[in-house]
Amino acid sequence: MKAIVIEKTEAGTSTALKDFPQSELMEGDVTVRVSHSTLNYKDGLAVTGKAPVVRRFPMIAGIDFAGIVEQSDHPEFKPGDAVILNGWGLGETHLGGYAEMARVKGDWLVRLPEGMTPAQAMAIGTAGYTAMLCVMALEQHGLTPDQGPVVVTGAAGGVGSVAIALLARAGWEVIASTGRVSEADYLKGLGATSVIDREELSQKPRPLGKERWIAGVDSVGSTTLANVLSMTRYGGAVAACGLAGGMDLPSSVAPFILRGVALLGVDSVMCPIARRRAAWTRLAHDLDAGALEAMATTIGLDEVIDRAPDIVAGKIRGRVIVTI
Ligand code: NDP
């Protein structure tokens, strides 16, 4: 079967599209014929070898897939079922989604929601499902659109684009922070009310800044997240899921102890199955199909290695579907 395989070399890693024996797929009770995958930031890191994402070699890259069950010993799935998988170590410790076939634990699978195509599921992918988890975290904190605006950082990226579409549809005033102000029309088309230059959030953070928003979805981390926290209104919260700008957090405790601001951590990889199902059900109902189409581009498996450096460099707009 065709697969994008990462191998360990003396210099680091090498990645190539090649034939991989199906007999070497790892243990699992469900075998899936993969039809679509996607390009996430973490896939970019794995394929380029820029960060030690892969912890088993050889590895088939790809942290997501959508496909049809071919064989199953799992009580909940039978041949012909349409399924999605995000994370659980796929493409890191378990052979991943950039392949014609995958063998995985049935416990990791989510059923493709009714009315959603496999291509739409991968237009959403891990980035979009994580955006949904961020929105759910803000809601669970009790935040509602009538309390004030929400800021979305890394706005033109995958998590950012889906977060904007979801929040705007839910009635939020969305402030989109981007390094690509040339994408203002794209961001407003997704539902952003206003667009700010990420330079505004790249200055040395003060312990407390002017209160600008009640909520935030941050996929950038570092100085950006520190600035977002310092400008969050009293009682607000920020859902943090990413590190596109760096892993550090040069902040202070001031927003937490003087304004009661909460920092809500969001992880998609090991997220319990019930919350995943809830997120995918919400995505099927709450994400505008037109917005999803506007943010998605499609590439073939043979283009993934060429496009991977672009996502690490922050040059990809929205989401990339990979057809297998
Ligand atoms: P993308 O590359 O699509 O989006 C990231 C965006 O961040 C870019 O488009 C850019 O937006 C902005 N950005 C990039 N570099 C910088 C920088 N140096 N400083 C400030 N902003 C920058 O990636 P994804 O949306 O797929 O992922 C975003 C982040 O979220 C990644 O760090 C990823 O690892 C993380 N993530 C975490 C998950 C979890 O489970 N916690 C799951 C999914 C993703 P713009 O041009 O608009 O400024």
Mean pLDDT per block of 10 residues along the chain (324 residues) reads 96 94 96 98 96 95 98 98 98 98 98 97 98 98 98 98 98 98 97 98 97 98 98 98 97 98 97 97 96 97 97 96 98
At residue 11, the pLDDT reads 85
* Residue 276 placed within a domain: no
Q: Is there a domain that residue 280 lies in?
A: no
User: Are residues 133 and 259 located together in one domain of the fold?
Assistant: yes
Q: For ligand 1, what atom is nearest to the CA of residue 315?
A: 9
Together in a domain, 25 and 138: no
User: Which residues constitute the domain of residue 180?
Assistant: 127-265
**Strands (DSSP E) along 76-168, which ranges?**
82-86, 101-104, 110-111, 150-152
Are residues 168 and 252 part of one domain?
yes
- CA dist 253 and 159 (Å) reads 26
Domain membership of residue 84 (yes or no) is: yes
Asked if residue 310 belongs to a domain, the reply is yes
Evaluate whether residue 80 is within a structural domain: yes
Same domain, 100 and 132: no
pLDDT number for residue 13: 92
Predicted model pTM: 0.97
Is 229 among the domain residues?
A: yes
Residues 6 or more apart in contact with residue 117 via CB below 8 angstroms: none
> Within this chain, do residues 93 and 145 fall inside the same structural domain, yes or no?
no
| Predicted pLDDT of residue 292 | 97
Beta bridge partners of 323: 36, 300
CA–centroid distance, 20 to ligand 1, in Å, is: 31
Q: How many angstroms does the Cα of residue 297 sit away from the middle of ligand 1?
A: 17
* Beta strand 194-197 pairing with 213-218: unpaired
Look at residue 156 and tell me if it is in a domain.
yes
How many angstroms separate the alpha carbon of residue 265 from the centre of ligand 1? Answer: 15
> What is the position in ligand 1's atom list of the atom closest to the CA of 42?
34
pLDDT at 43: 97
- 250 and 301 share one domain: no
Shared-domain flag, residues 68 and 142: no
**Are residue 19 and residue 52 in the same domain, yes or no?**
yes
Are 189 and 308 in a shared domain? Answer: no
> Are residues 172 and 236 part of one domain?
yes
**Number of independent structural domains in the chain:** 2
Ligand 1 atom index nearest CA of 161: 25
Q: Considering only CA atoms, which of 224, 215, 172 is closest in space to residue 194?
A: 172
Do 222 and 191 have their domain in common? yes
The answer to whether residues 219 and 183 belong to one domain is yes
Q: What is the CATH number of the domain that holds 246?
A: 3.40.50.720
CATH number at 23 reads: 3.90.180.10
> H/E element holding 17?
strand 12-19
Query: Taking CB atoms and a 6 Å cutoff, what residues make up the pocket around ligand 1?
Result: 40-42, 126-127, 130, 154-160, 178-180, 198, 219-220, 224, 241-245, 266-269, 311, 314, 316
Output the pLDDT for position 72. 98
Residue 273 within a domain: no
